[in-house]
Amino acid sequence: MSEEQIKQSIIRQIVQIAPDIDPDEIIPDKNIQRSLEIDSFDFLKILTALDVELGVAVPEADYGQVDTLNHMIAYFAKRITP
């Protein structure tokens, strides 16, 4: 799976859970929760949906590595089994 495809999956799930967010608002190196006003509950829902779609469950200890869109892409790219 290419990084571009991962990116599209992440954006799709964010918009699914917070429908008022315009994909253009998602700035790749900004903190997702703070810049998009996503609370911890919605963040958990996004990670749950990505686990289902990409087959990678992010442990709590790794939350610091998935704080921005760019970090999330890198994190999933490293762990998705081809």
Partner 1 sequence: MSTFVMPSLGADMQSAVLMEWKVKEGDPVTKGMVIAEVETSKGVIEIEVFEDGIVEKLLVEEETECAVGAPLALIGSKDTAAAIEPTAQDIEKPSLEASKEPEHETVADERIKVSPAARKRAKELGIELSSLTADKEAIHLAQIESKIEPEAIQPSGMRQAIAKAMSRSNAEIPHYYLSTSINMTPALHWLEELNKNRSIQERILPAALLIRAVVCVLKEVPQLNGFWKNDSLQMSAAINPGIAIALRKEGLITPAILGAEQMNLDTTMQTLSDLITRTRSGKLRNTEITQQTITITNLGDLGVESVYGVIYPPQVALVGFGRIMDAPWAQGDTLCVRKVMEATLAGDHRATDGRIGGKFLDKLNQILQTPEELR
Residues that bind partner 1 in the complex, under the rule CB under 8 A: 18, 20, 33-34, 37, 39-41, 44, 47-48, 51, 57-61
Identity of the residue, 4 or 20, whose beta carbon is nearer to partner 1 in the bound complex: 20
Cα–Cα dist 45/4, whole Å:
22
In the bound state with partner 1, the residue whose beta carbon lies nearer, of 21 and 77, is 21
Closer CB to partner 1, 24 or 60, in the complex: 60
Task: Output the DSSP codes for 47-58.
Answer: HHHHHHHHS---
Query: 33 with 40: CB under 8 angstroms?
Result: yes
